Each structure stands twice: as structure tokens, then as C-alpha cells.
Chains A and B, each alone.
Chain A
Amino acid sequence: MRPLHAASMSLLLLLGAACRSSTSPASTPTTSEAQALALTPPVGDGAVDREILRLQEGLRRSPTADDWVLLGQAWIRKGRQGGDAGLYLSAEGASIAALKVRPGHRGALALGAMVLLNQHRFEAAREQALAILAQDPDHVPALTVLSDAALEMGDVAAALDATQRLVDLKPGLASYGRAAHLRWIQGDVSGAKQLYARAIDAGRGGRDPEPVAWMLVQAGLIFWNEGDLDGALAGAQRALALLPRHAPALVLEARCRLARGEDAKALHLLEQAEAIQPLVETGWLLADARRRLGDGPGADRTEARLLRQGRQSDPLMVGLYLASRGGEAAGALRLLEPEHRARPGLLVEDAYAWALYRAGMLAEARAAIDRATAHGTPDPRLLYHAGAIRLAQGDASAGKALIQRALDLNPEFDPVASSEARALLGSRDRRARQGSGARASEGRSTRSVSAISPAGR
């Protein structure tokens, strides 16, 4: 098992204190509690860990607001490398400690907003970013938070505005990378590639390779989504050359390997990725890979764990998983409805649409997938979902055209869904007339093509 960040242990201790003092008016943690979280020794010996230790040593001697903020930023950078959620509590502790030294310190407030973002409290993050920007309209870190929170909440226009402001103020990896993603969302693949190249250039040679590795993977995903496996693989491998344990790169390479039928290689990569950063989507692919290799019991175990443990930490991906593989439309909707209320971004709209489709609520599914595809995003999964929903609604020509476009982009966009898509193109009309398909009760019979049509209407 991976060593657990000690701040996660501090949670327990703090909770104990909170319970003891539950009759007295408790508030934000005391300075010493916040400091203790921020000063937790890091587990690891990378460059970020050394920086954390160095800052902690200085802060013990004499705490300055700036150094607390730098420490918090270092915790966030460490958090990006795949540790547990306790790392963000350490960052939050640093933010609180900085604000005690210098109330209103904008860097500390922005750090707090980044923590909120990482805790998926998007509305709160957005509000905090706006409050900082009311004081300083040119605050670069606050603009990054505003851009990210707006996108998660489905406000693409606000994300565009914030990101344009960001790149006007500070062209660099953070702004070019966000700009690239927004170009891709709008369907501009070549523009996105150019901007990712600029983002990668702007981070080259940095002591912390994670930002560039991340950008390489994002650029690789652009190639992946258009079916250019060589391009995608190159992105993943360049990222791994910089940062051999970069989980998103391991997952991207695994996707490529699965697409090429190199299932054993994919399995190995996914096992590595899951040990570093156990995300639901990693577990999902892992289950797919195990099943393809004939390890049904192993796949079932992975799947069971994913469902058991992912519901709280990542309801979006578990919801999408249930809608895509489990055939549990009702369970998927239960998870996705609150997500949809809190952050109706493109990914959530897509997952929500797919769950509605599985539940047979085609009009609602259509409305959601229309919102998800409104910007022309060239994502095969989105297009496949959009096509399948239209098909189920009886619009065969538009539906088939969308599914065909998904498969034209990347014939192997998903280990299971791409064959489902092909099957729909071949035999969909007959089943649509019959009006039968997957039921929640069919449970795991998801390998059959019938599982991918909606409940009867």
C-alpha cells in the first residue's frame, strides 16, 4: 500500500478535537492546527519534497505569509503527482496560516481557492476567485481558478473570458494549456495542437517536470481523439521520459496499447498507474484490460472496488461507468444528478445524458447531450453518445452519421464502446423497432451489444 500522507492522519486527530469541542463555538482551525497540517513531513524524496522541507524549515524559524503561500503551492504541486487528498489539506493549512500572518493576502486567498477547486467545490472556488479579482483584476492565480471553475460549471463563455485575460497577462504554460483545451472544446484541433506546443515550450527545463508532462499527455489526447495512435503514444512516452511515474501518461499509453490489441502491455501500465494514482477511470480501464485477457474474476474484483470506493470520491466517473458498463441506469442517475446540479460542464452533461439514455429518458438525454456537444467538441465518446441517443429517438440518419464520425475519428476510442458503436451502425434499426435493450436488471451482461440501447419506450 502507498504510504498515506500524514495530514490524512491529522484529519482524525483534528476530528477528535472537533468532537471534544463540539459544544463550544468551533471555527476554522486554530493557527497551530493549520500550521501542523502545512508542516506535515512530506512522504517522498522528489524535488517537490525537498522544496517542501526547505520551506518548512524556514517557516519554523520565522513564518512569513509569502513562504506559507509558497509552501501551500508546493503541496498542491505534490498533490498533482498523485498523492491522497490529505495533501490538499496541507495546502489549505498553509493558506490559513498565511492569512493569520497577513489577513487578506491575495496569494493565500488564491491558494485557498485552488484547494476548493481540487476538492471539487467549484462554486465556492469561483466565488473566492471573483472576490480576489474584485481586489486585483489582474491576479493571475485567481484567473486560473476562475477559468477552471467556470468550465466545470459549464460556463464555457466565462472560461473563455478568464483564460483570454490570463493569456493576455501572462503567456505561459498555465494560460496556453487552458487556451489549448478551450480551442479543442470548440473543435479547433490544429489550433489546440499549436497552443499545446507553446505550453510545452513554456515549461521546458523546469525543475518540476509535472506541468510539462501533463501538457504532453493533454496534447497526446488530442491525437488520441482523432485516432492518431502514433501521435498519442509519442505524447505519453515523452511525458514518461520526463516523469517515469506520471500516471496520466501511463493511462494514455495503456489506451493506445489496448487500441492496438497489446492487452498485456496495457494491463501492466494500468497496474502501475493505479498504484500511483488510483482514479476511477484507471480502474475502469484496468477492468476492461483484465476482462479482455480472460481474467473475469480479476476484472470483477477491480470493478467492485471501483464501485465501492469511487462513489464518494468521483461520482462523475462512477456514474458514467455505471451508465456505460454496469447497465445500472438508476444508480448512475442517483450519482449524476447532484453532479449535474453542482457542475454541469461538458463531461458531466455527457455522462448525465448517457445515464438518462440508459434509463430510457430520451428527451432529457437528448437535451443534455445537445448541451454537451454544443461547442463542436471532437470527442468520439461524445459523438457516439449523441448518435446513439438520436438513433433511439428514431432519427436514424443523423444518429448513424454521428456514430460514424466518432468511429472515423478514432475507431478504437474505447475498448468496449467502440465495438458497441459499430454494432449499432450494423444492426440498430431492427432493435429500435423492437424497442428493447439493456435493463438495469441485466446487471453485468454489458458485453452484449443489446446492453447499449436504452430501456424501452
Chain B
Amino acid sequence: MKKLMEIKVNGETREILIEPWWSLARALREQLGLTGTKISCETGDCGACTVLIDGKAVKSCLFPVMKARGREILTIEGISSNKRGKLHPLQQAFVEHFAVQCGYCTPGMIMAAKALLDETPKPTEAQVKEYLCGNLCRCTGYTKIIEAVLAAADKM
């Protein structure tokens, strides 16, 4: 039987109907329509489902939705300011540096990069690579992504 649960996403408290065995990723996508969070490998390898929970990067496909109670969840939909068309510096840098091809890994990549920059505002290239090792991209070859993250760090 589905359960009613309160969840705080992108600063807003919402009520959702969930099954206790659902992952957070599934609840975000199916109950809140926040489809920016992608599901891909569902084994915690690819990072497409990365969101921030209480400011920390987490793979939402391995995170039981039941654990989300009382936590602050931030998804790709919540990182820019609410003004239409205004992007987060990381998003802007991904656009400017052509760090997107098919785009499927991009939300997870940006969320992981945001966690990195929140922790380490001016990371070295090696730190970016190390931090993003849990986010796979099958198009870009990573170079542009790393450039974009470093450029965003410079501007922030």
C-alpha cells in the first residue's frame, strides 16, 4: 500500500505517495515530475541520478525515499535562481564550454560539481577529476566537462 510522506525538495515541502521500497530518484521523477534527475545504471556507478541531500552529493537511485524524511533535497531544477532563463554559473559554463552532447549525464555531473565547488571553491584539475570519477559520460570524453567546472569555479 502506498504511503503518504512529506519531502522537502528545492526549498519546498511537498506531500507525495510512495511505496517504501522506492528509491529517491523514482519518487522525484514519478511523484514530483522532477525528471531532470536521470536514472541510468541503477547500481550507483554512473552518477546520472546525483542530487544533493543536506548539501552533499548522493546517488539518488541507491537512496531509499524513506530516508529523505526531514532532509533538504536539491535537484538540478533547484540550483538556478527562480528568474526565468537565469542559469547557475555551472550550467552557464557547461553551455559556454560545449560540455554537453547528449545531455543525459549533465544534471548529475552538474550536481556533483556543485557539491565539489561548495566544499572546495577553487579546485585543481586533479580534484575535479577525482570528485567526478563517479559520474560517467559516454559522449564528451570529459575534457570539456572538466574545463567547464574549472571555468565556473573561476567565476563564482
Is this pair of chains taken from one and the same complex?
no
